[in-house]
Structure formats: structure tokens, C-alpha cells
């Protein structure tokens, strides 16, 4: 089984008067695993369904290799989809579900049996082929759905949030199984999810959508460490934000002293910002220091007070009030509620953007 290049060019889709996809262009290289990530209503599922042929494309085109499939019916696209609900036949056994697509294609009984046995072995379902799918666990049903999709040797595999119905422990196990299987088969895969961690773990490339448009695309570490906008920063976990004053210099950005922070000098790192800025950061990137402690050169320190403490296990979680804002910070040490404290933010933890006008 070999993957194929998939190209979407300026794809537009509307539901009535509402334009859901707005000139979306996307290229997925052969054998790569791409995650479409975004909040509900961003257009990621609509894009997947446009690629699969279940939603009509209003403008633009979609190609697999050199073949234009923009208006081809779903069963003529050499694709297979695993749905969120799995969409298995409850009156059939696991083996008959896996072989369903092969029967529709007119395969012989012996060829179907051989292929089904291959899928059962590949998916660690040996001995379960004769069991009704209603008697299988959630993780086993998910594997049956995946086997049905792979049995027909598709050129493109589409995954529509197939792990969302699994509990956390099984979901973590199955996501690694799917990734390992995808790499072994070399099949081009597009996966829709709203789970940031799931996308980071499984994908070679993450594509973030917002309001029907792609707002950033790149390898997981690039999107995570260098979000190109406040929206992407917040979506990738940097939900904390604080307004600051900045002055750009030679290869550096100077953060001016403010009511709750001392002056700090940061490396420019491609961000020549001056004036009012908003700094986004992740709670896990922050550290607490004593009110009188001296930070390392380049660190930004926000001064505040602990207003709440809890112990979720292995560390303490503190709510720290800085002016009118409140931030959650984890720390190994036990500290008293009401204590004056500093939130230490190293330069690598900060994502700086121009403050919105007005």
C-alpha cells in the first residue's frame, strides 16, 4: 500500500448563505500524516468531507496525484474514511464488517477471507473475527472500523475524530497504534481532531483552521513553539496573556518596567516589536520565585500574590493574582496562600504580538 499526494486548491464550500470554507489550499505529501485542528465550527470536518466527496465543492478543485476528483463520487476517489461513530453494521461479525467493502467490489470469497485474516492479524484482533461487533470493546470496534477502511487498499485514509468516543487510557493507546500502522503502510492520512495533544502526538504536520481558513500549518514543534498569531498561541495552550510595553533594539527587545514587572531584555528572535504588545505564555512554562529573588538575565518576572493553592498530585497548583489578572502556575514547593510571589518567564516561554488597536 503506497500513499499518494493530495492537493486542495482554493476550495470553497457554503451551507446556504454561509461560506464555511474560504479559498482553502492544502497539499499533503505521499505517506504523510496531517492533522486538521481547530475548534467546533472552524471548517475542519467540512474540509475532510469535501475531500471525501460527501460535501459538494462550490469552487476550487481537489486532486489525488494527477487525477482531478473534485466532482467524483465518494466511491470513485480511492479513499476510505473512519467515522467518529465507526458506522459499523451491528448485525455483522467483526470479519464481515472488515470485508464489507471488498464484497461491494466483487472480490471472491477466498480473496475476501484472506484479506480479512490479514487485517485481523495486523490490528491484533485474532480470534475475534466471528464475534459480533456489539460484543466488542470500544477500542476493538475502533480497530474493526480501521480494518474495514484499510482492507480496500485506499490511496488516502481519512479519520474523522475516530478516537473521541474512547476513554482516556484506551485513546492514548490507540493513537499510538494508528500512527505506527500508518507509518508501516506508508499511507497518506488526514485526521480531523479538536484535541491538541492528539494532533501533536500523531501528525507529521498540523493544519490549524479558524473561521473557514487555514491560519497556520507546519510541523508540530514549529506550530507549538512559534505560533504566528495570538489565536494560534492560545489554541496551542498559551492561554495566559499580559499586556506590556516593548522597545526593539539591536538583536533584542526591551520590555519596559511596568506596575507588575521589572525591565527585562529578551533576544529579538525574529520579533522586532515596539510599543504596546501582548505576551502569551503557557502555565507549564512558568516558574515561581520568591518576591525578593533575582531572576536570571533575560527572564521576565510578573509580581503578584498567591490567592489559591491545590495539590493535584506530584506538584502544587497555584492561582496567582497579578493586578487584575489571575494565572495558574504549577510548582514543586509548598507555598502559603497570600504570599507575595514572582512568576518567572524565560524568553523561550514568551510569544509576543502587537497589542490590538483600540
Whether residue 276 has pLDDT greater than 80: yes
Confidence (pLDDT) at 24: 97
User: Under DSSP, is residue 38 helix (H, G, I), strand (E, B) or coil?
Assistant: coil
pLDDT-derived band at 177, boundaries 50, 70, 90: confident
- Average pLDDT of the chain is 90
327 conformational bin, left if phi > 0, alpha if psi -120 to 50, beta if neither: beta
Whether residue 19 has pLDDT greater than 80: yes
Whether residue 272 has pLDDT greater than 70: no
Model pTM? 0.86
- Give the span between the Cα atoms of 147 and 119, in whole angstroms: 6
Whether residue 168 has pLDDT greater than 70: yes
Confidence (pLDDT) at 122: 85
pLDDT-derived band at 216, boundaries 50, 70, 90: very high
Confidence (pLDDT) at 312: 92
Q: CB within 8 A of 268, min separation 6: which ones?
A: 248, 249, 251, 252, 253
pLDDT digits (tens, 9 = 90+) for 107-135: 899 999 999 998 898 888 888 898 998 88
pLDDT-derived band at 212, boundaries 50, 70, 90: very high
What domains appear along the chain, each with residue ranges and CATH number? 6-228 (3.40.50.300), 238-354 (2.40.50.100)
The percent of residues above 70 in pLDDT, for the chain, comes to 98
The percent of residues above 90 in pLDDT, for the chain, comes to 58
Amino acid at each position: 500500500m503506497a500513499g499518494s499526494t493530495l492537493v486542495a486548491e482554493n476550495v470553497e464550500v457554503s451551507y446556504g448563505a454561509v461560506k464555511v470554507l474560504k479559498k482553502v489550499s492544502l497539499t499533503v505529501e505521499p505517506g504523510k500524516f496531517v492533522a486538521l485542528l481547530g475548534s467546533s465550527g472552524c471548517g475542519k470536518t467540512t474540509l475532510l468531507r469535501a475531500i471525501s466527496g460527501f460535501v459538494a465543492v462550490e469552487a476550487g478543485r481537489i486532486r489525488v496525484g494527477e487525477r482531478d476528483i473534485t466532482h467524483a463520487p465518494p466511491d470513485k476517489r480511492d479513499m476510505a474514511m473512519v467515522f467518529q461513530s465507526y458506522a459499523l453494521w451491528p448485525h455483522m461479525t467483526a470479519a464481515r464488517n472488515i470485508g464489507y467493502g471488498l464484497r461491494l467490489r466483487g472480490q471472491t470469497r477466498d480473496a475476501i477471507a484472506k484479506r480479512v485474516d490479514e487485517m485481523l492479524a495486523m490490528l491484533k484482533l485474532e480470534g475475534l473475527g466471528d464475534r459480533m461487533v456489539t460484543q466488542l470493546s470500544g477500542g476493538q470496534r475502533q480497530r474493526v472500523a480501521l480494518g474495514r477502511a484499510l482492507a480496500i487498499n485506499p490511496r488516502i485514509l481519512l479519520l474523522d475524530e475516530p478516537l473521541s468516543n474512547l476513554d482516556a487510557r484506551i485513546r492514548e493507546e490507540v493513537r499510538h497504534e494508528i500512527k505506527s500502522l500508518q507509518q508501516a503502510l506508508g499511507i497518506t492520512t488526514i485526521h480531523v481532531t479538536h484535541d491538541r495533544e492528539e494532533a501533536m502526538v500523531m501528525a507529521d504536520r498540523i493544519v490549524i483552521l479558524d473561521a473557514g481558513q487555514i491560519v497556520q500549518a507546519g510541523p508540530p514543534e514549529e506550530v507549538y513553539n512559534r505560533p504566528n498569531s495570538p489565536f494560534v498561541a492560545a489554541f496551542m495552550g498559551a492561554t495566559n496573556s499580559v499586556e506590556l510595553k516593548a522597545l526593539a533594539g539591536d538583536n533584542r527587545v526591551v520590555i519596559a518596567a511596568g506596575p507588575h514587572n521589572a525591565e527585562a531584555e529578551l533576544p529579538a528572535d525574529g520579533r522586532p516589536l515596539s510599543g504596546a504588545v501582548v505576551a502569551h505564555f503557557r502555565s507549564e512554562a512558568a516558574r515561581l520565585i520568591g518576591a525578593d529573588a533575582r531572576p536570571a538575565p533575560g527572564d521576565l518576572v510578573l509580581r503578584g500574590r498567591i490567592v489559591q493553592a491545590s495539590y493535584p498530585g506530584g506538584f502544587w497548583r497555584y492561582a496567582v493574582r497579578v493586578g487584575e489578572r489571575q494565572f495558574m502556575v504549577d510548582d514543586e514547593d509548598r507555598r502559603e496562600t497570600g504570599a507575595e510571589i514572582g512568576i518567572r518567564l524565560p524568553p523561550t516561554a514568551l510569544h509576543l504580538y502587537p497589542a490590538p488597536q483600540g
